[in-house]
């Protein structure tokens, strides 16, 4: 059993007591709460790893059980993840025995990614200000902008979500982001769906091919806009973009789909 962190408890009101501990055995789950879900636990693991520790501003909510144990009302997935990582758990103890998990979760209004970015920008975080300005300049969603700015724009979804939520987001590849976003901006007038996650991810993948010419691709998209159609997957968009890139071209043809797969295979 791990030792309890010393000097870690204090009374903040008649009803709340704050604490921090690595004695994970002191916590028990409440029967009324949902089961531990592996998918949610993985997300909490990613959040904690990105932050480097439990965020004290978001404590677990507990009440004291009859046997002295801490009955977890809210935060069971975070505690489960912290246990795996060996991180100290920050918690508060409430004397409100009417409080149940359903009440807490029913009243919550989860933050969207744009809310985290706006809050960080208001606080003066320069990285969030860069992200906010980039998204506004190029007219791209925050999720896509964030992925491009950290050089992970070659897949769908925002792979930067954990960093944004935990306040650790940092721009690492502005040139790459600007190159892809500039192409998107120029193509958008003739194909509005170029701003979707799958289309942007496919375009980002094309840029890994050494001989890929962004100007040639943009020019062909504008000249042969009637060939641009919505596709359902990233791979399908890559095939489409290869067709447009090589359309009516006898020399300098690039097998983009093949070269992208080869680059991925070689790592």
What's residue 112's pLDDT? Answer: 82
> 49: exposed, middle or buried (C-beta count within 10 Å: 0-12, 13-18, 19+)?
middle
pLDDT digits (tens, 9 = 90+) for 127-181: 999 999 999 999 999 999 999 999 876 665 556 778 888 888 999 999 999 999 9
| Selected residue with higher pLDDT from 128 and 267 | 128
Whether the predicted pLDDT of 48 surpasses 80: yes
**Which residues, 6+ apart, have CB-to-CB distance to 160 below 8 Å?**
143, 146, 147, 149, 150, 152, 169
Nearest partner of 199 among 147, 154, 258, judged by Cα: 154
Dist CA 195 CA 182 (whole Å)? 11
Q: What percent of the chain has pLDDT above 90?
A: 57
Query: How many helices and strands, by DSSP H and E, does the chain display?
Result: 12, 6
| Selected residue with higher pLDDT from 15 and 126 | 126
Q: What are the domain boundaries of the chain?
A: 10-107, 113-266
What's residue 224's pLDDT? Answer: 95
Whether the predicted pLDDT of 5 surpasses 50: no
The pTM (predicted TM-score) of the whole model is: 0.64
Class of the CATH-defined domain 10-107: alpha beta
Dist CA 237 CA 6 (whole Å)? 57
Q: Name the residue with tokens 């190159």.
A: 179
Give all strands of the β-sheet with 89-94 in edge-to-edge order. Answer: 10-11, 16-21, 89-94, 60-64, 70-74, 27-29
Nearest partner of 181 among 221, 155, 156, 148, judged by Cα: 148
pLDDT digits (tens, 9 = 90+) for 55-84: 888 899 998 888 889 999 889 999 999 999
Q: In degrees rounded to 5, what are phi and psi of residue 64?
A: -75, 125
Whether the predicted pLDDT of 4 surpasses 80: no
pLDDT digits (tens, 9 = 90+) for 181-219: 999 999 999 999 999 999 999 999 999 899 999 999 999
What's residue 8's pLDDT? Answer: 54
> 108: exposed, middle or buried (C-beta count within 10 Å: 0-12, 13-18, 19+)?
exposed
Q: How many CB atoms lie within 10 A of CB 52?
A: 11
């Amino acid at each position: 059993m791990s030792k309890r962190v010393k000097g870690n408890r204090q009374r903040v009101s008649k009803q709340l007591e704050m604490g921090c501990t690595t004695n994970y055995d002191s916590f028990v789950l409440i029967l009324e709460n949902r089961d531990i879900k592996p998918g949610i636990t993985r997300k909490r693991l990613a959040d904690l790893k990105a932050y480097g520790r439990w965020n004290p501003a978001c404590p677990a909510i507990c009440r004291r059980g009859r046997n002295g144990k801490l009955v977890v009302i809210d935060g069971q997935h975070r505690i489960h993840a912290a246990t795996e990582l060996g991180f100290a758990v920050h918690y508060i103890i409430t004397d409100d025995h009417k409080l149940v998990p359903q009440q807490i979760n029913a009243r919550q209004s989860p933050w969207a990614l744009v809310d985290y970015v706006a809050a960080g920008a208001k606080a003066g975080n320069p990285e969030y200000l860069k992200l906010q300005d980039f998204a506004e300049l190029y007219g791209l969603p925050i999720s896509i902008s964030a992925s491009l700015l950290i050089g992970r724009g070659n897949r769908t979804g925002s792979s930067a979500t954990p960093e944004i939520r935990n306040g650790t987001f940092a721009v690492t590849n502005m040139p790459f982001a600007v190159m892809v976003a500039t192409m998107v901006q120029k193509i958008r007038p003739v194909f509005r769906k170029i701003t979707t996650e799958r289309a942007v991810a496919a375009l980002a993948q094309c840029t890994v091919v050494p001989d890929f010419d962004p100007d040639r691709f943009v020019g062909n998209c504008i000249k042969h806009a009637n060939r641009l159609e919505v596709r359902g997957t990233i791979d399908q968009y890559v095939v489409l973009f290869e067709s447009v890139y090589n359309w009516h071209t006898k020399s300098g043809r690039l097998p983009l789909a093949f070269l992208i797969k080869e680059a991925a295979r070689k790592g």
